[in-house]
Structure 1
Amino acid sequence: MWRPLATTVLGLALLAGCTDDPEPSARTGSPSYATPGSPSDATPTDLASDPPAERAEPFDADAVLADVRRFANRIGPREATSPGFRRAARFVAQRLRSLGYDVGRTRVPVPAGDSWGVPVDAGTSYNVIADPPGFDATKPYRIVGAHLDSVAVSPGAEDNASGTSVLLELARMASEQPPDVPTRLIAFGAEEPRGESDDLHHFGSRQYVRRMSGPARRNLDGMVALDRVGVRAPAVPICTGGPNGSGLRREVERTARAARVPHATCDDNRASDHWSFEKAGLPAIRLGSVPYAGYHSAQDRPHYVDDREVRRVGRIMWRWLRSP
């Protein structure tokens, strides 16, 4: 049976994995950094295309951290087919409905396997999908996603209550000031692996992409996966799994420069839900993936999630959502 590498080895090997990369060829290269004050930080084009002043209440990092504590401490481990996952899915759906979104849930069959050293049975997980009123996938739209599950042993504060909680805060802001480009929000089920191969990973997002209609594929302006976005780092990782995300990554890099947020780029990052979209030829990227000692362990607690880091991610994402 497949067994994971030791956490200490993973901390050195992973710049960009929510999970260990299932393909030997899929390794993250050295990131290139952009910091505030660099010559490329704010070009005239960046400044000319700035969105209008914010009308929504500012990004609330304290609310994000409160939700991280709820997921990690009150709900706990959220293996994809477990009661904990179902409680988390109900909470996310209720929060999004309370913000005025049209919320649906799709079943995701998941096979038996190995959840980072713990044997797990086959079962059912869920994608929670939230649309703003009047959403129409036959017109240009965007997707922001975050996986809701954790590995079996982990309370999953950083991986991935951090991404899910940022998604919920962006949902609150977008409900107050709807973006010009409508945005679908998805809490994916069963992102975490149940074995070594790519076929045993990303079950919720793979199913979602398989079911996308032709018009929905053609009108997708971009998909961003928020996955492990809370560990304090010199820069926010902006990553792709292959060439299909490169244009969107450049767009989000420009957004980060205009927002004066330090950021790093990485390639061949295939360890989150963006990869399901990229494999289908759709524009998608991932934000997040800084190594940390509690990765995929019972020690993945809220203290790993830093208010400054989630605020940086929020600044990038809110500016991108408000851009044409």
Structure 2
Amino acid sequence: MATVRHLAVDIGPRLATSPEFDRAADWVQRRLAGYGFDTRRQTVRVPAGDSWGVPVDAGTSANVIATPPGFDPAEPWRLVGAHLDTVAVAPGAEDNGSGIAVLLELARLAAAGDTSLPTVFVAFGAEEPVGSGDALHHFGSRLHVDRLPAEQLNTLRAMVSLDRIGVSDAEIVPVCTGGLSSLRVRDDLISVARRLGFETLPCTDNTTSDHWSYEQRGVAVARVGSTPYSAYHSPWDVPDVVAPDQLGRVGRIMWAWLRG
């Protein structure tokens, strides 16, 4: 929960084009570099629009990309992502401090232990919409997948988006796709959860997180998270809405899956 508190309380709302987002991105990049990853920032352009009722100017955001040492893009690999930005009015404890918290813990474990495939971790900028429709949403992940060389896109075996994973609804973990790609990744995660004794809620109609950018390019994907909660996109999205036990469930599922 320390990551959730730092992002939501110490930094607060992290509009993608704001100084607060830059501060959060610097902090996440330092953490990932400290684990031994090769890190870089990818500039993301964001148009003017409306952030959940607040007019916003055009500007730039960034993806924070962490690649394991010795990474060979010609060999099979996985990507785990979580968006770092929030809408203008929300501290974003659940949306999406929760996803970043688990991403950082998975990166720490991956740096210290074996995973079945090399894993790249990305903290996405500008996931939140500035209007309606795909063209005004998921700017960071769309840029990232669009900039992948064809060879590296072809070797990407799975992408998982961790988005709003900390709200506990009867201890159930949602695991979804958008309905375009193979269900392989979703079903693998469900199988891992079942083996660990956790209940999941599968779906194939979720297009509202960064997995959708990759799914539209033919990558096998899953989104973990999306349980509804009353503080969504509001000033009340504070650490108290996040259940530490639910973060633990998701973390255990993801780490078991990465270990293979």
- TM-score, with normalisation over the residues of structure 1? 0.79
Q: What is the match of residue 164 of structure 1?
A: 100
Q: Within the alignment, does 1:275 sit opposite 2:212 as a pair?
A: yes
> In structure 2, what is the Cα distance between the partners aligned to 1:245 and 1:212?
20
* Superposition deviation, residue 247 in structure 1: 1.7
SS in 2 for 1:243: coil
* Aligned partner of residue 93 in structure 1, secondary structure: helix
Quick one: distance in 2 between partners of 1:81 and 1:136? Answer: 32
Distance in 1 separating the partners of 2:90 and 2:182: 30
Which stretches in structure 1 are left out of the alignment for 5+ residues?
1-64
Higher normalized strand content (fraction of residues): 2
Match in the other structure for 2:244: 307
2:167 and 2:246 in contact (8 A); partners too: yes
* Structure-to-structure mapping, 1:46-125, within 5 angstroms: 65-125=1-61
Equivalent position amino acid for 2:205 in 1: D
CA displacement at 1:252 relative to structure 2: 1.3
2:86 paired with 1:150: yes
Instruction: Give, in angstroms, the shift of residue 181 of structure 1.
Output: 0.6
Measured on the aligned residues, the alpha-carbon RMSD in Å equals: 0.8
Q: Is structure 2 residue 114 aligned with structure 1 residue 173?
A: no
* CA distance in structure 1 between the aligned counterparts of 2:188 and 2:149, rounded to whole angstroms: 25
d(CA) in 1 for partners of 2:191, 2:151: 28
1:135 counterpart (55, 71, 91) = 71
Given candidates 280, 283, 289, the residue that maps to 2:226 is 289
Amino acid corresponding to residue 289 of structure 1 in structure 2: S
Instruction: Tell me which amino acid in the other structure corresponds to 2:173.
Output: V
Paired residues for 1:232-247 under 5 Å: 232-234=168-170, 235-247=172-184
Tell me by how many angstroms 1:180 deviates: 2.6
Q: Distance in 2 between matches of 1:252 and 1:210?
A: 26
Greater relative CO, 1 or 2 (CA 8 Å, sep 6+)? 1
* SS of residue paired to 2:62: strand
Structure 2: stretches of 5+ with no match in the other structure:
none
Q: 1:245 to 1:228 in 2, by over 3 A?
A: farther
Which residue of structure 2 aligns with residue 42 of structure 1? none
* Alignment of 1:255 onto 2:192: yes
Q: Which of 220, 224, 238 is 2:160 aligned to?
A: 224
Aligned residue for 2:197, secondary structure, equals coil
Cα distance in 1 between the residues matched to 2:55 and 2:180: 35
List aligned pairs for 1:165-204, cutoff 5 A: 165-204=101-140
Residue identity matched to 2:12: G
Q: How many Å apart are 1:245 and its aligned residue?
A: 4.1
- The total of aligned residue pairs comes to 259
How many Å apart are 1:178 and its aligned residue? 2.9
Deviation of residue 251 (structure 1)?
1.4
Overall identity of the aligned pairs, in %: 55
User: Do 1:240 and 1:266's aligned partners in 2 also have CA atoms closer than 8 Å?
Assistant: yes
- Runs of 4+ aligned residues of structure 1 deviating over 3 Å after TM superposition are none
Give the drift of 1:167. Answer: 0.2
- Kindly name which structure, 1 or 2, has the bigger radius of gyration based on alpha carbons: 1
